[in-house]
Amino acid sequence: MCSGRVDLEFILRAFFNGQDGVFIGGCRLDECNYITHGNYDAWANVYLCKKIMGHIGINPERLRIEFMSGADGNLLADSTDDFTTQVKSLGPLGEGEGIDVNTVRFKLEAAMKLVPYLRLVERERLRVPEKSKKAYTEFFESSQVDRLFNEIFTEKLAISQIMLLLKKKPLSTIDISERLGLNPSDVSKHMNSSSRHGLVRYDTTSNCYALA
Domain hosting 177: range is 169-212
Q: Please check whether residues 147 and 174 belong to one and the same domain.
A: no
- What pTM does this model have? 0.91
Residue 17 sits at the vertex; the CA angle it makes with 108 and 2, to the nearest 5 degrees, is 90
Q: Please check whether residues 188 and 84 belong to one and the same domain.
A: no
Q: Please check whether residues 91 and 61 belong to one and the same domain.
A: yes
Helix intervals (H) in 59-142? 73-90, 101-112, 115-124, 133-140
Tens of pLDDT, residues 176-188: 999 999 999 999 9
Tens of pLDDT, residues 128-164: 988 899 999 999 999 999 999 998 899 999 999 999 9
Report how many domains make up the chain. 2
Q: Please check whether residues 68 and 18 belong to one and the same domain.
A: yes
Q: Are residues 63 and 21 in contact, defined by beta-carbon separation less than 8 angstroms? A: yes
